[in-house]
Structure 1
Amino acid sequence: MHKINARYFPSGGPTRIEEDNSAIIPLVDGEEYFNAVRMEIGRAQSPGDAIYMLGWRFEADFRFNKSSNDPSELGTVLASKAATGVDVRIIMPTKWQLLDWLQKETEKELRDRNNNDLNNLLNWFGPKGNILHTDLLRKKTIGRDSPLSSRILLDYSGELFGTHHQKMVLILRGGAAVGFVAGIDFLADRLDSRRHDEKLPRPYSTNQKDTIKYYWHDAGARVEGPVVKSLFYFFNARWSYCLTLSDRAFKFKDGQTIPSLNPRVEMTSPRGKAQSTPLSSTTPLKGVYLAANFPERDVKGSNPAFHEPHGMFARPSIHTTGELYKKAIGSARKYIYIEDQYFSAQSMEGVLLEAARRSVKIIAVIGGFSDDEGKSVDPRLSSPFLKSLGNDKVAVMQVKDTIVHSKLMIIDDEFVAIGSANFTDRSFIEAEDKGGGADSAMRDFLRDVKQAWSTDSELTVAAVDDRRNDLNVAMRLRILLWAEHLRVSAEDQVIWRQLSDLEVGLSIFNKSWGRPVSFDHGNSRLLHVEIV
C-alpha cells in the first residue's frame, strides 16, 4: 500500500482502498453537478443499462438546468428511460412515526404549534414532501404506461431520530459504470451556479410564483474506476433490505389515506456488477476510498420508539465516515479546511485539539443563511471547545447570503473528502439523541421515549493526490472554492498562483497566517465569525 494511503485512510470496513486505478472529479454547485449527472443519465438508453439513485429528497418536477432548451423534468426523464428498458430505481426515506402521528392530529394542528423543527419534518417527510413526490414519480406516464410504478421505494427503516441521508447516482451503460457521490439534493433551490450572481431574491426554476432569498453552495464528485463497485454494494444492500420491510398503511385525521407506502415493488435484484469501470481522461489517483455510515438500530417494528438491531449487514457496525475523518485530521500537518452546514462533531474534538497543538491551521466555512431556520445566521458561534483552541489556530467564516450545504474536507493539498456526511456526530458514529435536532420534534408525540438514537446513513468518497502541480485534485478544488467565496476569478493566473501558495493564500482567513494577497477581493462574501 502507498504510504500516503495508509496515512489518510482507515483500515477495515466493507470497502477497499483502490490504488492507482480510480479517480474523482469534484463538481462545485448545482449547475455543474446536475449538468454532469444529466449528461450521464442521457447515455443510458437500452435494456441492460441502469440508473440507480439514493437520496434524502427528490422533487418529481425537478429541472436539471434553467435553460428553456432543456425543459425536461426529473420524473419525465427517468420514466422515459424506464420505458425503453433501462433499469431505473430510486430509494428515498420517510418517517413512519410522523405519518402515524398524522392519524391522531391534522397537519394544520401540528403546524399551529409554530415549532420550526416540526414544520421542517412535515415539509420533508409529510404528505407534501417525499410522500407526494414518490407518488408523482410512480404515476408519471409514458403513453399508457407508468414505468416507474414499482421502482421508487420509500425506506422507513433506521433509527428514531436519524434518517437515510446518502446521496448517490449510479449509471450503468453498455456494461460500463460511473457514479456520483454528493451532498446535494434534487430540489429546485439547489440549482445555483458557482457565480451566485443572480439578484436576490432569485427565481425558482419550477415555480415562477415563488422566489429564493439566498444563494445555495454545494458540492459533489464524479467517481470513476473500480471504486464504483462499492456504490453497487451499498445500493444493492439498501434495495434488498427495503424488500424485507413490512408494508404500512395510514388514514390521517384529515381524511387522507395512504393505502400502502410501497404498493408495487420491483423484486428482482439490481444489476450488481459492471463489466468495466473505465476512467475518462482523468489520471488515476494514488488512492480512492468510499466511506459509509449506517445505523446500528432500527425502528421498523410496530412500536414507534422501540429500537432493535439493524439487520442490513452481517457486521456489527459501519462507521467508516467517522474513522476516515478522524484519521485524516490526525494526519494533517499544515491546514484542515472544512465546508459544512454544521461544525459540531464532538467525536472529532480530540483530533482537532491535537492538530491545533501541532500548529495546524483549522478553517471552517459555514453558511451565512440557515437552511433549517430560513433566516440569516448570527455571526457568532458559541463553542467553548473552539474558543479554547485560540484565534491563532482556528478561523470560522460565514458565506454571506448563502446556505453552505457542501460537506467536504481538504487537508494539506493532499486529501479531499466529498459526500453526504455532515460534520456532526450523527454522520460519523452511532449517535444518541440529546434533543434539539429537527427529528427530536417528534418527542412531543413519543413522550415515553427515554433513550433514542439519531444516526444518519451517509456516503462520502475520499481521495489522496500527492502531485505537486496544478493537476492536484485537492489543491485545484481548494483554489476554486476560495476564489468563489472571495468573488474573484480562478482563471486569473495572478489569483491562481497566490491562492496556490499556502504562505499567501491562508492569509485570507487570518492575516497572521501568511503574506497578504495582492489582488482586490472587495466583493468577498466571506465574513469572520466570532467564537464565544
Structure 2
Amino acid sequence: MTDFQAIGASRKTANTMELIASAARRTVKAAIPAVPGGIIRTGRNAWRSGKASKVAFLVDGAAYFSALDQALRQARQTIWIVGWDFNPDIRLRPKQSSETLGELLLSLADENPALQIRILVWGMGPVYSGKSLRLFRESGFSSHPQITMRFDLRHPLRGCHHQKLVSIDDSLGLLGGIDLTARRWDEPDHRVSNPVRRSPDGTPYEPVHDMQSMVSGQAASLIGDVARRRWKKATGQKIEPSPVRDAAWPLAVAAEMTDATAAIALTEPGLIGKRGHYEAFRLTRDAIRAARKHIYIETQYLASFGVARELAKRLKEIEGPEIAVLVTKSSHGLIEKLTMGNNRDRLIRRLKRIDRYDRLRVMYAVVPDERGGEKEIVIHSKLMIVDDAFIRIGSSNLNNRSEGLDTECDLAIEAETEGHRQAITALRHRLIAEHLDAAPEDVRQMESEKRSLLETIEVLNCRERGLRHFAVDIAHGGTTPLPGTAIVDPRRPYWPLHRLRLRVGRLVSVFF
C-alpha cells in the first residue's frame, strides 16, 4: 500500500454518516456555480480581454528562450522587456549558439534603425542577483541610442515589480513566470547533471521547472499595453503603441489554440490617492469556487491563507473537486525559510485536517541524482487549471505579497470550444507526464480508466523521477500564519513609509 493509499484508507475509515450528512447540508448552496456564465469577468477579476489569434504554452525555459529567439529576430518597430530581473549575458540557445541576449539585441538594433528596444527592470532585481553595477557600466549595451533601460522603483516599501513579459510590435506577446535572467533555462528532463544548465559565469544550478504563454492578435496588444502602462508609472514617459502590428508567429512553435478569448489580470498596489488593481487574487478565488472536477496548481510558494480558505471550503464538500498542488519544497534565505516554508507547512496542515474525503495532494517534484538519491526540482511556474476549461499562467504566486503588494500580471483563458478544452487537457497531461517521467498518452489513458486526477498520479508515480508529498504532522502544530507574517509577507503597503519610498523612487528614476 502506498502512502497515498494509506492516508486515504485511514481517512475514509474515520468518517461517519453524521459527518457526511452534515457536510451535505452545508454544501448544497456551494454546489451552485459562484460565477454564473463563466469564471472570467472583466472589471472584477480581469483588467481587459481580447481575442488571441494563436496561443502556445511554452513549458520550461529551453522552449521559451528558443521561441523568444525566433520572435525577437522578427521585430520591426518595438521590443518591450519587462521583468523582475534582466541579464544580457544569458544565452537563448545555449546548445546551438554562444550569442548572448545582449549581443542579439545589439545586432537587431544595428540592423534596423527603426527598432526601439525598451527594458524595464525592478530597481532592486539586479541588486538581489549581484550584478547591478555591471548593468550600469554596460556601455556597449545600455548606451545604444535605440536601447533604453530603466529601473522601476515606483513601489511600496518591500514591494517589487514582479511581472515577466515581452511584447513585440504589439502583435506577439509572451507572458508567464520566466524572467530573462540567469538560472531560468532548463529542459523537460530536468536531469541533475546538465552541462548546459549554467549561469553566465559558468556556475551550475539546480533543475528548474517553469512556463510561459505566447499569444498573437488582440491579446498580444494588451500585453503591449501592460508594458507601456508600467513604463509610464515607473518613468513618467508615455509611449504610443506600435504602428506596425504584423510580427510573424515563429514557425517552429505550434499553436495549441486559435481564436481564443484571453484576459489579463493585474495586481497593482494602490498609490496614494489612487485605487489599485487586485484582479489576480479575485481570479484565483473565483476559479477555485467554480471548480467541479479538479484543480491543478503549480506555484513556487503556497503561503496564502486567503487561498487556503477557499480551498478548505471545497474540501468540505462531499462532491467537491480533487485538488493537486505542486510547490517548491526548499526555501532559500532565512526570511523565506521562516515565513514561506513554515507558513506552507501550517497551511498544508490546516487543509489536511479538513480533507476528510481525501481529495487533496500537495507535492514536490524530484529527479534521481548520481548517488542513488533524489534532487528536488525548483517549481517556479505559476499555473492553475480548472476542469480543463480554464487556465491561468502568469507571475502571481500563492502568497500574500502577490495578492496586493507586488506588481503582477497573469493571462487567463476560458475554453469556448471543444478544441480549446482539448488543448488545456493536453497541456495538463503533458505537465503531469513530465513530472512522473511518463508519456502524455499514458496519463490520458490512466485518467480515462480511473476517472480521477489523483488516482492517475498515484498509479503512475512509480519511477525514480516523480512526485513526493509533504510529510507534515497533521495532528500537531500550528494552522494559522506564523507571527510576523504581516511584516515579512504583507498583503498591502504600509502607507507612511510608502510616501517616503515614492519620493526616493522619483529621484532615482530621474537620475537613471
- Scaled by the length of structure 1, what TM-score is found? 0.71
Cα 1:283–1:389 shift into 2, 3 Å: same
Secondary structure of 2:48's partner?
A: coil
> Whole-Å Cα distance in 2 between the matches of residues 5 and 15 of structure 1?
19
Question: What are the equivalent positions in structure 2 for 1:350-499 lying under 5 Å apart?
Answer: 350-358=309-317, 359-372=320-333, 381-383=345-347, 384-390=349-355, 392-400=358-366, 401-428=376-403, 430=404, 455-465=405-415, 467-468=417-418, 472-490=422-440, 493-499=441-447
**In percent, how many aligned pairs have the same letter?**
25
**Aligned with residue 33 of structure 1, among 45, 49, 64:** 64
Give yes or no for contact 1:285–1:463 (8 Å, CA) kept in 2: no
Is residue 180 of structure 1 aligned with residue 174 of structure 2? yes
> Whole-Å Cα distance in 1 between the matches of residues 47 and 74 of structure 2?
27
> Whole-Å Cα distance in 2 between the matches of residues 366 and 33 of structure 1?
21
Give yes or no for contact 1:22–1:288 (8 Å, CA) kept in 2: no
Secondary structure of 1:236's partner?
A: helix
Q: CA deviation at 1:127?
A: 8.4
Secondary structure of 1:224's partner?
A: strand
Residue matched to 1:269: 239
Give the letter aligned to residue 157 of structure 1. Answer: R
Give yes or no for contact 1:228–1:277 (8 Å, CA) kept in 2: no
> Whole-Å Cα distance in 2 between the matches of residues 155 and 66 of structure 1?
29
**Aligned with residue 170 of structure 1, among 167, 170, 174:** 167
Q: CA deviation at 1:22?
A: 4.2
> Whole-Å Cα distance in 1 between the matches of residues 82 and 299 of structure 2?
20
Secondary structure of 1:190's partner?
A: coil
Give the number of the structure whose residues are more often helix, by fraction: 2
**Aligned with residue 119 of structure 2, among 65, 90, 94:** 90
Residue matched to 1:344: 303
Secondary structure of 1:18's partner?
A: strand
Give the letter aligned to residue 93 of structure 1. Answer: W
Give yes or no for contact 2:446–2:456 (8 Å, CA) kept in 1: no
Secondary structure of 1:227's partner?
A: helix
Moved more, 396-405 or 348-357: 348-357
Deviations 1:268-298 (A, max 9, x none): 725356546887855435531111111113x
Q: CA deviation at 1:309?
A: 4.4
Residue matched to 1:217: 209
> Whole-Å Cα distance in 2 between the matches of residues 350 and 504 of structure 1?
24
Is residue 239 of structure 1 aligned with residue 180 of structure 2? no
Q: CA deviation at 1:501?
A: 5.9
Q: CA deviation at 1:135?
A: 1.9
Cα 1:421–1:23 shift into 2, 3 Å: farther
> Whole-Å Cα distance in 2 between the matches of residues 12 and 345 of structure 1?
23
Residue matched to 1:11: 42
Give the letter aligned to residue 425 of structure 2. Answer: M
Secondary structure of 2:314's partner?
A: helix
Give yes or no for contact 2:82–2:165 (8 Å, CA) kept in 1: yes
Residue matched to 1:76: 103
Give the letter aligned to residue 394 of structure 1. Answer: L
Residue matched to 2:158: 161
Give yes or no for contact 2:228–2:238 (8 Å, CA) kept in 1: no
Q: In structure 2, list runs of 5 or more residues that go unmatched.
A: 1-33, 367-375, 474-512
Residue matched to 2:27: none
Give yes or no for contact 1:57–1:92 (8 Å, CA) kept in 2: yes
Give the letter aligned to residue 211 of structure 1. Answer: P
Give yes or no for contact 1:164–1:456 (8 Å, CA) kept in 2: yes
Give yes or no for contact 2:162–2:408 (8 Å, CA) kept in 1: yes
Give yes or no for contact 1:184–1:190 (8 Å, CA) kept in 2: yes
> Whole-Å Cα distance in 2 between the matches of residues 52 and 232 of structure 1?
7
Residue matched to 1:191: 185
Give yes or no for contact 1:91–1:154 (8 Å, CA) kept in 2: yes
Cα 1:162–1:408 shift into 2, 3 Å: same
> Whole-Å Cα distance in 1 between the matches of residues 160 and 245 of structure 2?
33
